[in-house]
Amino acid sequence: MTDNVIQGLQLSLAGILIVYIILAFISLMVALIGYLDGDWKRREKRQKLESLEKPPTIDDLTLVLISAAVATMLKGRYRIRSVTRVKPGSGGSAWSLQGRSTLLGSHVISKGND
């Protein structure tokens, strides 16, 4: 009976050792994936900041489309003096962006009866 007990203890010890080795491997894989994910997020954030630092330019086609949209909405010819791009994060908080949206939306333009 002692041989059975010793063999059972050895088998239990081997099973516990295998389980802990596999758990260690899984935790290392999770840590590696977390590190790679963090690196990926940092790279995306850096690329986003670099793209926002570039001077914003507007091409002629976009300016013509904006002019056409304004002319269609206001039913007439108007001169566009400037086009300002609102960058995310540069306009301040969400409160200021909401305030700007409310202010610009409150301007009522009469369409006239043509």
User: Taking the domains of the chain in order of start, what are their residue ranges?
Assistant: 1-53, 55-84
pLDDT at 30: 95
- How far apart (Å, rounded) are the C-alpha atoms in residues 46 and 49? 5
Distance of CA 85 to the CA centre of its chain: 19
pLDDT at 48: 84
Q: Which of 11-25, 33-47, 62-76, 87-101: highest mean pLDDT? A: 11-25
- How far apart (Å, rounded) are the C-alpha atoms in residues 74 and 42? 45
pLDDT at 67: 82
> What is the band of 113 on the pLDDT scale with cuts at 50, 70, 90?
low
> What is the band of 86 on the pLDDT scale with cuts at 50, 70, 90?
low
> What is the band of 70 on the pLDDT scale with cuts at 50, 70, 90?
confident
> What is the band of 66 on the pLDDT scale with cuts at 50, 70, 90?
confident
- How far apart (Å, rounded) are the C-alpha atoms in residues 88 and 50? 13
pLDDT at 5: 92
- The pTM of this model reads 0.40
